[in-house]
């Protein structure tokens, strides 16, 4: 019954009433302005371009100040993004400005290595904001929003068209950030060449399906100027922080031997057009487009990955608790499956390792048995040689005893029988000496053999 009543009231036409006097809600815009001014604003600019193309100089010229920035090098191993945040104040309006520089962009051989860190940085800022939104205790009022509101893509004024890296990078970025292409150092080409380059760049962007930011024409107050400025894209800009005296006044300009290029002279470059469109007319639209278009696209894809979905009017109502429980069960099942796979993988690895260890153990055992057999064979051979030597030593000792006995008997016989002549005596003496020398030689050889056996 209650649902039917709601449908009835929803289908009723709204009635317009005339007020009999001043009520006061016409001050709502003033209240909104006061609240916004008190809260302050944030604006984040991403500068994408090659090293030395003039990104820092243009930022200094755009905000009429000097930002601290280190000069980039062409020898960076990879692209890394360097954000710098500043608190600016103009009149009573506070602006938290963040400028993000792409250090090392364009110095890599692989194009993917050039634009991938930029995409990851933009998604990381979206992810931070989404995490803050999903918190139970949120603080979005004073949250420092780091989402990129505008990407100034710097195009080198060399050649007659865009580089392949420019097309690939802008194609990857157009669904994640508002892109405004600018031709840097536009004073290095002639006026006619600059016009041809602009036409060529826009033609290539359209033919490759690159969506750049178009200034809105829905608001009647800015429709005419925005429509006119859309025809001037890409802006050809010149940056300079030097004050040069031209005539009777000081202006921002670049001096050359043939004259000067005035930054704020619309006949020389499009710097004034860029500043008007970026800061004075469409800054809030850039912030709104970032939140309503690019962030919402990221948020929708992210929540769909997490299992959340919208319901049609005819379907059942959406339950956050049921979705969470279903996603949790799915996650636990997936986690259990992965654990089982890891467990099975671990078991297989253990089995393989055990098989390898058993094989190694078998090889070591066979090697040990082989060495053991070799040792036993060598020991057996040594024992045989030792036994042979001992037998030889025993035989030698027997011969030695026999020789000593024989020599003793001979000496005893000589002492008992007188020699007839000295010649016989000498002959007997020589024989005795010869036998004694032979015995000594044999004894020395036996002693050395015994020492050799003991050493072995």
pLDDT in tens, 235-275: 999 888 888 887 788 888 887 888 788 888 888 888 889 99
pTM metric for this prediction? 0.66
236 and 165, same domain (yes or no): yes
Reported as a single tens digit per residue, the pLDDT across 380-413 is 999 999 999 999 999 888 888 888 888 887 777 7
Which residues sit opposite 260 in a β-bridge? 255
Collapse the DSSP code of 254 into the 3-class scheme (helix H, G, I; strand E, B; otherwise coil) and give the result.
Answer: strand
Cα of 242 vs its chain's centroid, Å: 39
Q: What is the pLDDT of residue 444?
A: 55
Rounded Cα gap, residues 390 and 395, in angstroms? 9
> Per the domain annotation, does 409 fall within a domain?
no
Give the pLDDT confidence score for residue 310 in this predicted structure: 67
State the residue for tokens 């041809």.
196
Q: Is residue 420 within a helix (H) or strand (E), and if so which, with residue range?
A: none
Give the pLDDT confidence score for residue 443 in this predicted structure. 53
Per residue in 283-316, pLDDT (tens digit) is: 999 999 999 999 999 999 888 887 777 665 555 5
Say what the pLDDT of residue 360 is.
92
Answer for the pair 233, 267: CB distance below 8 angstroms, yes or no. no
Of 223-227, 266-270, 400-404, 452-456, the range with the lowest mean pLDDT is 452-456
Which one of 278, 306, 334 terminates a domain?
306
Burial of 172 (0-12, 13-18, 19+ CB in 10 A): middle
Position 2 scores a pLDDT of: 44
CA within 13 Å, CB half, 126:
24
Predicted pLDDT of residue 420:
47
| 331 shares its domain with 292 | no
Peptide bond into 234 cis (omega under 30): yes
Give the confidence band of 7 by pLDDT, cuts at 50, 70, 90.
low
- Does the pLDDT of residue 26 top 90, yes or no? no
**Pair 51, 106: CB distance under 8 Å:** yes
Whether the pLDDT of residue 445 is over 50: the answer is: yes
pLDDT at residue 327 is higher than 90: no
Q: CA geometry: angle at 95 spanning 94 and 101, to 5°?
A: 160
Q: Are residues 144 and 224 in the same domain?
A: yes
Which of 284, 306, 328 corresponds to the end of one domain?
306
> Do 202 and 91 share a domain, yes or no?
yes
Quickly state the pLDDT bin for 347 (edges 50, 70, 90): very high
Q: Does residue 224 share a domain with residue 119?
A: yes
Q: Is residue 254 part of a domain?
A: yes
Residues of the chain with pLDDT > 70, as a percent, come to: 83
Q: Show the domain range for 378.
A: 320-399
* Burial (CB count within 10 angstroms: exposed 0-12, middle 13-18, buried 19+), residue 113: middle
Q: Does residue 3 sit within a domain?
A: no
- Report if residue 161 sits inside a domain: yes
Q: Higher model confidence: residue 293 or residue 322?
A: 293
* End-to-end Cα spacing for the chain: 115
| 122-149 tens-digit pLDDT | 999 999 999 888 888 888 778 888 999 9
pLDDT, residue 263, reads 82
Is the predicted pLDDT of residue 178 greater than 50, yes or no?
yes
Number of domains in the chain: 2
Alpha-helical segments (H) within 251-319: 271-275, 283-289, 296-305
Return the pLDDT at 180. 93
Quick one: 280 and 339 in the same domain?
no
Give the mean pLDDT of the chain: 82
- Residue 318 has a pLDDT of 58
| Residue 81, domain member (yes or no) | yes
């Amino acid at each position: 019954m209650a649902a039917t009543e709601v449908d009835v009231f929803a289908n009723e036409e709204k009635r317009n009433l005339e007020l009999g006097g001043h009520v006061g809600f016409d001050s709502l815009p003033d209240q909104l302005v006061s609240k916004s001014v008190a809260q302050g604003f944030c604006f984040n600019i991403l500068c994408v371009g090659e090293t030395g193309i003039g990104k820092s100089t243009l930022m200094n010229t755009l905000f009429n100040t000097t930002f601290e920035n280190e000069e980039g090098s062409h020898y960076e191993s990879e692209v890394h993004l360097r954000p710098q945040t500043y608190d600016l104040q103009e009149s009573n309006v506070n602006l938290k400005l963040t400028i993000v520089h792409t250090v090392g962009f364009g110095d890599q051989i692989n194009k993917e290595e050039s634009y991938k860190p930029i995409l990851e940085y933009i998604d990381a800022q979206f992810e931070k904001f989404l995490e803050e939104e999903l918190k139970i205790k949120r603080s979005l009022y004073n949250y420092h929003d780091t989402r990129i509101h505008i990407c100034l893509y710097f195009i080198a004024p060399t050649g007659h068209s865009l580089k392949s890296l420019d097309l690939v990078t802008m194609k990857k970025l157009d669904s994640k950030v508002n892109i405004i292409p600018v031709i840097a150092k536009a004073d290095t080409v002639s006026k006619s060449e600059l016009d041809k380059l602009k036409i060529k760049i826009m033609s290539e962007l359209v033919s490759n399906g690159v969506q750049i930011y178009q200034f809105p024409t829905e608001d009647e107050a800015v429709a005419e100027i925005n429509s006119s400025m859309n025809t001037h894209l890409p802006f050809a800009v010149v940056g300079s922080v030097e004050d040069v005296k031209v005539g009777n006044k000081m202006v921002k300009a670049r001096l050359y031997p043939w004259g000067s290029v005035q930054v704020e002279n619309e006949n020389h470059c499009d710097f004034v057009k860029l500043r008007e469109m970026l800061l004075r007319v469409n800054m809030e639209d850039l912030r709104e487009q970032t939140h309503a278009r690019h962030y919402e696209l990221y948020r929708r894809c992210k929540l769909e990955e997490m299992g959340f979905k919208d319901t049609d009017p005819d379907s059942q109502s959406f339950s956050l608790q049921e979705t969470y429980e279903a996603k949790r069960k799915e996650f636990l099942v997936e986690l259990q499956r992965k654990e089982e796979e890891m467990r099975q993988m671990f078991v297989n690895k253990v089995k393989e390792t055990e098989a390898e260890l058993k094989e190694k153990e078998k090889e070591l055992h066979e090697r040990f048995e082989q060495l053991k057999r070799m040792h036993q064979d060598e020991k057996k051979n040594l024992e045989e040689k030792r036994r042979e030597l001992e037998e030889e030593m025993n035989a030698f000792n027997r011969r030695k005893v026999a020789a000593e006995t024989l020599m003793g008997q001979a000496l005893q016989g000589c002492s008992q029988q007188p020699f007839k002549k000295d010649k016989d005596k000498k002959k007997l003496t020589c024989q005795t000496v010869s036998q004694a020398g032979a015995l000594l030689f044999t004894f020395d050889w036996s002693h050395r053999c015994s020492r050799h056996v003991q050493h072995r």
